[in-house]
């Protein structure tokens, strides 16, 4: 089977834009959660989120392009620009028909949708932007990345709620493994912190309501967790065959060892209480290349800070690792950046590779009192720790019971 390597990383997150900023913030256990500033949330029951700060799309796109892209697509194209540059794809040293792009999203251009809907109601259909549809649709960022760099290979978007970004990476991996492509640019992007979306998640009772203490509101695996925090951003990586990497002279950052996808087939929004779907996804990722379970010593958990979801995931993780569970470090990036929905899994991959390269495990901040069922697990509370990750699993589970797991190995 073809060996597949990561040769480029890009990140736009609530705690840092670019890999260097993101790395330092992960080490420090920095929280990116605060009161919503992009619009007036005073009438909402939930008034906190993890917004991307100081984002300047013009650094990565020209002003004309910025105006024609929804915020989620600006994030996607910016993260892609970082990853493509690091991988050296800007030098056009590739066969364009052998390079594809799958950058996914769970919700897409909801900013544009809400703004143009208001315009239609207030000013009439004649005032609606002709760019409404291309700015709103979920596949547009993937298509525009291909246009920017001249990639003629497979190009589409996976939409599977909070598993979208990780499914996108997994499906891109399969394109290479099956011989259709040499290189894939892949990941996820989301910008759904809008009045309607926040109201919708709040009415589901899915969000934390700690409006007076935002930086402590996202607390995966803690007894006092009360829901997730909405985040935004993007994570994009470049995947490449070993042969292509050597031919182009690009540097391997990690190896992608396996991918697993599954369905809970259980409930509209709740996970299977025994973590059945998560167990299947992780097991498939491990078996993909028959990676020895002894090599895996890290899990980047889905860990959203929801009462049911966190426990169900850990039931699955225990089942996967059995007696070895004590040797596996587990953390939740969402404790710092909130839940980036369709971008969450892709940013989790970037975070995992960063930790793998730099020899540390970032903290699960705000984890003060774990559930009794989790007290024996190594969940890296409060502070970062030095550790060499040999191989790690990244989990991402979405509404509808759609699950994805990716296995990464150190190089």
pLDDT of residue 312: 96
pLDDT of 89 higher than 90: yes
Q: What is the mean pLDDT of residues 287-310?
A: 97
Is-catalytic flag, 178? no
Tell which phi-psi region holds residue 106, choosing left (phi > 0), alpha (psi between -120 and 50) or beta: alpha
Environment class of 65 (CB within 10 Å of its CB; exposed 0-12, middle 13-18, buried 19+): middle
pLDDT of residue 1: 83
Active-site entry in 69, 167, 272, 339 = 339
pLDDT in tens, 133-175: 999 999 999 999 999 999 999 999 999 999 999 999 999 999 9
Q: What is the mean pLDDT of residues 356-379?
A: 96
pLDDT of residue 92: 85
Q: Do domains 4-248 and 259-406 have the same CATH topology?
A: yes
Active-site entry in 69, 272, 302, 362 = 302
What does pLDDT average to over the chain?
97
Q: What is the pTM of this model?
A: 0.97
Pairwise CA distance, residues 277 & 400, whole Å: 11
Q: What is the mean pLDDT of residues 300-324?
A: 96
Active-site entry in 101, 162, 181, 186 = 162
Q: Could you write out the DSSP letters of every residue in 355-400?
A: HHHHTEE--BTT--SB-GGGTTSB--BSS-EE---SEEEEEEEETT
pLDDT in tens, 199-214: 999 999 999 999 999 9
Is-catalytic flag, 162? yes
Percent of the chain at pLDDT exceeding 90: 95
Is-catalytic flag, 339? yes
| E-strand stretches of 27-124 | 34-35, 48-49, 99-104
pLDDT in tens, 241-292: 999 999 999 999 999 999 999 999 999 988 898 899 999 999 999 999 999 9
Q: Cβ atoms within 10 A of the Cβ of 375, count?
A: 9
Residue (of 296, 111, 135, 299) closest to 220 by Cα position: 299
Matching CATH number, 4-248, of 3.30.70.270, 3.40.47.10, 1.10.10.60, 3.30.930.10 = 3.40.47.10
Class of domain 259-406 (CATH, top level) = alpha beta
Tell me the domain boundaries of the chain: 4-248, 259-406
Residue (of 8, 14, 10) closest to 218 by Cα position: 14
């Amino acid at each position: 089977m073809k060996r597949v390597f990561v040769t480029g990383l890009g990140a736009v997150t609530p705690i840092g834009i670019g890999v260097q900023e993101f790395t330092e913030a992960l080490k420090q256990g920095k929280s990116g959660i605060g009161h919503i500033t992009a619009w007036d949330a005073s009438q909402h029951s939930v008034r906190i989120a993890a917004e991307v700060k100081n984002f300047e799309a013009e650094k990565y796109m020209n002003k004309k392009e910025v105006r024609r892209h929804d915020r989620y697509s600006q994030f996607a194209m910016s993260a892609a620009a970082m990853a493509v540059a690091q991988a050296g794809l800007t030098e056009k040293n590739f066969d364009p028909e052998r390079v594809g792009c799958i950058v996914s999203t769970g919700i897409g251009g909801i900013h544009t949708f809400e703004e143009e809907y208001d315009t239609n109601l207030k000013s009439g259909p004649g005032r609606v932007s002709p760019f409404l549809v291309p700015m709103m649709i979920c596949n547009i960022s993937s298509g525009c990345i291909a246009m920017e760099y001249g990639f003629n290979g497979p190009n589409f978007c996976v939409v599977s709620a909070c598993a979208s970004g990780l499914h996108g990476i997994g499906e891109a991996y399969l394109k290479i493994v099956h011989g259709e492509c040499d290189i894939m640019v892949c990941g996820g992007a989301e910008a759904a912190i809008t009045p309607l979306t926040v109201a919708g998640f709040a009415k589901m009772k899915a969000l934390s309501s700690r409006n007076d203490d935002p930086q402590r509101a996202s607390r995966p695996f803690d007894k006092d967790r009360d829901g997730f925090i909405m985040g935004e951003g993007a994570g994009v990586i470049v995947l490449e065959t070993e042969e292509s990497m050597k031919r182009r002279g690009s540097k391997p950052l990690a190896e992608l060892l396996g991918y697993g996808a599954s369905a809970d087939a259980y409930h509209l929004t709740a996970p299977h209480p025994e973590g059945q779907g998560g167990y299947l996804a992780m097991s498939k990722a491990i078996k993909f290349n028959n990676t020895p379970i002894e090599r895996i010593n890290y899990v980047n958990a889905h860990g959203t800070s929801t009462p049911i979801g966190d426990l169900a995931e850990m039931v699955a993780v225990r089942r996967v690792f059995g007696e070895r569970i004590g040797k596996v470090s587990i953390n939740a990036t969402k404790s710092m950046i909130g839940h980036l929905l369709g971008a969450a899994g892709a940013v989790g991959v970037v975070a995992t590779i960063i930790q793998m390269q730099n020899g540390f495990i970032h903290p699960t901040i705000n984890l003060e009192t774990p559930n009794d069922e989790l007290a024996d697990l190594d969940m890296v509370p409060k502070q970062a720790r030095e550790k060499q990750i040999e191989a790690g699993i990244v989990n991402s589970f979405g509404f509808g019971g759609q699950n994805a797991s990716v296995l990464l190995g150190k190089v």
